[in-house]
Amino acid sequence: MPIQTENLHIDALRLLPAPADLATLLPRDQAISRTVSDSRAAIRAILSGADHRLLVIVGPCSIHDPDAALDYAAHLARERHRLSDRLEIVMRTYFEKPRTTVGWKGLINDPHLDGSDRIEDGLPAARRLLLEINRLGLPTATEFLDPILPQYFADLIAWGAIGARTTESQIHRQLASGLSCPVGFKNGTDGGVQVALDAIRSAAGAHSFPAITAEGRAAIASTTGNHACHLVLRGGHDGPNYSPAHIESISLAAAQTGIDPGIVIDASHANSGKDPARQPAVIADIATRISAGENRIRGVMLESNLVAGRQDPVAGQPPIYGQSITDGCLGWDDTQALLRRLAEVAQSRQPLAA
């Protein structure tokens, strides 16, 4: 008997369509391309300090119901258009969730929320939603987790994140080096910022690594490096890391590494002890400092949904409409109030290059 040494833990392999097939089925038009491309340019200008506005990445912790996400997007698009002279608002459309151990991995992995893991349904659902949101003139942000999946939807993303659990990963740094959008590297879950600074340096360089082509063939991608990578502070095991003392020491460390100190602060995650009700206090603090002249903070991230809080889905029952099934979020009214406060303080900012 031949001894089997391969696929001992593989139950099944199902074919996925090629990225180009999905793009043909769900193409982006010129107006959508403009929304993506203009927002990427605006974000680059804000991060460099050339544009005085604040970047605001706001939206659900994760998308599980495309209808509710589009409803949320309609609310947010109105705020984006109203506040566009002071804020660059981009919607969090997070389809891939990195789990500390196990749990639901997001709409792409398990779109039916039942463990059936029909990625072949999740990919078109994600791409369709991104097209619909961009069609409202509202650009989108996401965390890139799997290194193959960006081929299916990265053309629709204005801002990307590499999360706290993957910032130290060479695979994700290589991936960021080839992405067309600005990318924020989160500090590590332990609070370590040096890994994110190292990641920014790594992603700015050229890399060659295995990838897939638009036609779905295995290939070697050679990248030119992404110079729009920056730091996102999300707190760590020791607590928040957005205080003036943190910004001071982190900016110094960034400067010593030759990295522009443009920083985005995530008001959620460990900066709010995972309690969404604490996000307004984080934003209030940041807003006061910005109005007093702090210009190293170029953007903020908020986790927000139509309905405040979070829920654990119950088998056989539809989840509460517009409420997170991963981390708790702010509700819409609180979100709107925070956006208006941020717009107020952004008004006083001057472009650094002026």
Ligand X SMILES: O=C[C@H](O)[C@H](O)COP(=O)(O)O
Question: Which residues bind to ligand PEP, rule: CB under 6 A?
Answer: 61, 94, 98, 143, 163-165, 186, 234, 269
Does residue 326 interact with ligand X by CB under 6 A?
Answer: yes
Among residue numbers 264 through 283, which ones bind ligand X (CB under 6 A)? Answer: 269
Q: Which tokens is 199 given?
A: 């990641």
Does residue 103 interact with ligand X by CB under 6 A?
Answer: yes
Q: Comparing C-alpha atoms, which of 160, 154, 144, 328 is closest to residue 232? A: 160
Distance CA 73, CA 60 (A): 10
Quick check: 199 and 176 in contact, CB under 8 A?
yes
CB of 33 to ligand X, least distance (A): 29
- Which residues touch 257 (CB under 8 Å, ≥6 apart)? 197, 200, 201
Altogether, the residues listed in the chain come to a count of: 354
Does residue 327 interact with ligand X by CB under 6 A?
Answer: yes
Nearer to ligand PEP, 156 or 233 (CB): 233
Mark the segment that binds ligand X (CB under 6 A) among 2-10, 91-99, 283-291, 304-312.
Answer: 91-99
CB of 61 to ligand PEP, least distance (A): 6
Out of ligand PEP, ligand X, none, which partner does residue 234 contact, by CB within 5 to 8 A per kind?
ligand PEP
Quick check: 154 and 180 in contact, CB under 8 A?
yes
Q: Which tokens is 122 given?
A: 């999740």
Does residue 142 interact with ligand X by CB under 6 A?
Answer: no
Distance CA 133, CA 137 (A): 7
Mark the segment that binds ligand X (CB under 6 A) among 93-101, 214-222, 244-252, 259-267.
Answer: 93-101
Report the SS3 class of residue 335: helix
Distance CA 289, CA 284 (A): 9
Nearer to ligand PEP, 52 or 234 (CB): 234
Nearer to ligand PEP, 51 or 303 (CB): 303
User: Which string of DSSP letters, residue by residue, matches 241-307?
Assistant: --SHHHHHHHHHHHHHTT----EEEESSGGGTTT-GGGHHHHHHHHHHHHHTT--SEEEEEEEB-SS
State CA 124 to chain mean position distance. Answer: 19
Distance CA 159, CA 130 (A): 13
Out of ligand PEP, ligand X, none, which partner does residue 186 contact, by CB within 5 to 8 A per kind?
ligand PEP
CB of 61 to ligand X, least distance (A): 5
Out of ligand X, ligand PEP, none, which partner does residue 103 contact, by CB within 5 to 8 A per kind?
ligand X
Out of ligand X, ligand PEP, none, which partner does residue 319 contact, by CB within 5 to 8 A per kind?
none
CB of 253 to ligand PEP, least distance (A): 19
- The amino acid present at 79, given as its one-letter code, is E
Out of ligand PEP, ligand X, none, which partner does residue 143 contact, by CB within 5 to 8 A per kind?
ligand PEP
Nearer to ligand PEP, 143 or 334 (CB): 143
CB of 126 to ligand X, least distance (A): 17
- Which residues touch 261 (CB under 8 Å, ≥6 apart)? 231, 250, 251, 254, 255, 296
Out of ligand PEP, ligand X, none, which partner does residue 230 contact, by CB within 5 to 8 A per kind?
none
Does residue 168 interact with ligand X by CB under 6 A?
Answer: no
Residues near ligand X, by CB under 6 A:
61, 97-100, 103, 269, 326-327
